[in-house]
């Protein structure tokens, strides 16, 4: 079963038209010295029915949030997704289309990109957004690379240790090859300290950007305005990574002086999918538009004055500029961005705020109840948070998680020992609109027995 439609007769007719007797004659362009005389050492073909059974069996070996309450976040959050998002995304005209390089044949996709850009700018308080990036981690990298294009003489980048470890890890990998120093600034009681940032920047005027994340990896809401001010005072740009759902209740980084706002938007209408495909975003001010990586859609008109959408500022991109492009990125994460766009539409102006407040309310009620259990306490009780918080546990967090799953069927929080070995007795717990009160009650009841 390989989805080829042509029959032997079709092939014979076509080869006669080509003027060859067999496909081997065509394949003779592959020189003898590099032929592979197969068969490929792979398993035999399966039919559609067999495929479904096989994959279903593999899927059944996973333990998923589908049938277990889950309090995992640490950068990826489960959120409610209306059925209409699936229905619309499943229109083949969206998911089997190619990149919209031919605008007359792609107004559907192009219009949704313009909508996405608009919505992301309105959430972040910015003026221009690209069409999306691979994920949150690479959005931080691309933001920093963009800052290096703007501050061409810079030699250093300052980043808070509150930024997601995958983002910092990626940044290290990317910067290694281009001779830029990455300076990390440790957290103070779970938050980034203004004075520490200022001293890391110093007065050498060689810092391209200061990167923070809010809420940060521990769920703590950073003082975004003060930190972007510190960056500006040191002659650096500020990059703020933000979970867009948190912007339902938290002030837009763009209104707090951020130069570039980026992050992971997967949670808006997309399942976490074990890590991907996800979707990242990047927004900035119009002054920086020519340094933005990846696709941007823009509105224009056709010859008759009809409104139309096209990909614009393409001279930034690799297919035109090649070695001098702003980025090597070719694709975006269009289908995930489309889902997010439809999701934001269905939430709407009011529903989005309500959803944010559901997260805030449940997380605070859960934090309060967990902190009241003997042996459990909030790790940073004086820091504000949105939908995630760190909790000190009486037993190693890994042990707490194991007992939660084995004895109570609950997928617990993120074991902070994975982030910092010294924090082996701390769990990072995310509570979202996907965790109704019964689940929170069950978690609290379970933790009461795990001491």
If one asks whether residue 332 binds another protein (CB under 8 A), the answer comes out as yes
Cα Dmax for the chain: 84
**Element spanning 18, H or E:** helix 8-18
State which of positions 163-202 bind another protein (CB under 8 A). Answer: 164, 166-167, 169-170, 172-174, 176-179
State which of positions 7-66 bind another protein (CB under 8 A). Answer: 10-11, 13-15, 17-20, 23, 25-31, 33-36, 38-48, 51-52, 54-66
Tell me how far CA of residue 191 lies from CA of 22, 161, 219, 388, in angstroms.
69, 9, 9, 14
For residues 129 and 380, what is the distance between their CA atoms, to the nearest angstrom? 34
Part in contact with another protein (CB under 8 A); list of ranges 84-92, 190-198, 199-207, 442-450:
84-92
* 152, 153, 319, 421: which one binds another protein (CB under 8 A): 319
**Element spanning 226, H or E:** helix 224-233
* 8, 152, 306, 374: which one binds another protein (CB under 8 A): 306
If one asks whether residue 225 binds another protein (CB under 8 A), the answer comes out as yes
If one asks whether residue 371 binds another protein (CB under 8 A), the answer comes out as no
Q: How many residues bind another protein (CB under 8 A)?
A: 207
State which of positions 255-284 bind another protein (CB under 8 A). Answer: 255, 264, 271-278
For residue 346, which of 76, 120, 81, 131 has the smallest C-alpha distance? 81
For residues 121 and 128, what is the distance between their CA atoms, to the nearest angstrom? 6
Nearer Cβ to another protein (223/232): 223
If one asks whether residue 151 binds another protein (CB under 8 A), the answer comes out as no
Phi, psi of 418 (to 5 degrees): -70, -20
Shortest Å distance, C-beta 200 to another protein = 22
Contact string (CB under 8 A) for another protein, positions 85-114, x = contact:
--xx-xxxxxxxxxxx-xxxxxxxx-xx-x
C-beta of residue 130 within 8 angstroms of C-beta of residue 296? yes
Angle at 381 (CA atoms; ends 377, 386), nearest 5 degrees:
110
* 8, 152, 324, 422: which one binds another protein (CB under 8 A): 324
If one asks whether residue 134 binds another protein (CB under 8 A), the answer comes out as yes
For residues 394 and 129, what is the distance between their CA atoms, to the nearest angstrom? 45
* 354, 381, 407, 409: which one binds another protein (CB under 8 A): 354
Residue 133, classed as helix, strand or coil, is: strand
* Assigned token pair, 137: 């981690």
Nearer Cβ to another protein (183/369): 369
């Amino acid at each position: 079963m390989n989805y080829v439609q042509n029959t032997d007769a079709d092939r014979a007719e076509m080869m006669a038209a080509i003027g060859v007797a067999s496909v081997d004659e065509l394949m003779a362009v592959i020189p003898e010295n590099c032929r592979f005389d197969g068969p490929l050492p792979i398993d035999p073909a399966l039919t559609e029915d067999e495929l479904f059974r096989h994959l279903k069996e593999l899927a059944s070996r996973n333990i998923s949030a589908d049938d277990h309450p889950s309090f995992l976040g640490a950068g990826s959050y489960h959120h409610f997704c209306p059925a209409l998002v699936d229905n619309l995304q499943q229109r083949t005209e969206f998911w089997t289309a190619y990149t919209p390089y031919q605008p007359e044949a792609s107004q559907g996709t192009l219009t949704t990109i313009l909508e996405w850009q608009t919505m992301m700018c309105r959430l972040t308080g910015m003026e221009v957004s690209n069409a999306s990036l691979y994920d949150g981690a690479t959005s931080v990298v691309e933001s920093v690379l963009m800052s290096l294009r703007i501050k061409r003489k810079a030699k250093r980048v300052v980043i808070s240790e509150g930024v997601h470890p995958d983002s910092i890890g990626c940044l290290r990998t990317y910067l290694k090859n281009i001779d830029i120093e990455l300076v990390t600034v440790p957290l103070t009681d779970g938050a980034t300290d203004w004075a520490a940032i200022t001293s890391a920047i110093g007065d050498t005027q060689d810092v391209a950007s200061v990167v923070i994340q809010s809420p940060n990896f521990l769920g703590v809401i950073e003082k975004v305005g003060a930190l972007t001010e510190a960056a500006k005072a040191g002659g650096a740009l500020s990059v703020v990574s933000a979970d867009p759902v948190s912007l339902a209740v938290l002030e837009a980084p763009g209104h707090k002086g951020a130069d570039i706002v980026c992050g992971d938007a997967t949670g808006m209408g997309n399942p976490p999918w074990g890590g991907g495909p996800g979707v990242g975003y990047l927004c900035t001010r119009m002054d920086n538009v020519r340094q933005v990586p990846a696709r941007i859609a823009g509105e224009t008109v056709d010859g008759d004055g009809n409104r139309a959408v096209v990909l614009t500022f393409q001279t930034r991109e690799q297919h035109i500029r090649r070695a001098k492009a702003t980025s090597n990125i070719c694709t975006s994460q269009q289908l995930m961005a489309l889902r997010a766009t439809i999701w934001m539409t269905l939430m709407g102006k009011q529903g989005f705020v309500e959803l944010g407040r559901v997260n805030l309310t449940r997380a605070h009620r859960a934090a309060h109840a967990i902190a009241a259990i003997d042996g459990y306490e909030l790790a940073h009780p004086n820091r504000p948070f949105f939908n995630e918080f760190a909790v000190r546990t009486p037993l190693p967090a890994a042990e707490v998680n194991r007992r939660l799953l084995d004895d109570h069927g609950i997928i617990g929080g993120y074991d902070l020992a994975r982030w910092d070995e010294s924090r082996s007795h701390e769990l990072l717990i995310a509570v979202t609109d996907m965790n109704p009160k019964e689940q929170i009650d069950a978690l609290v009841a379970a933790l009461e027995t795990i001491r």
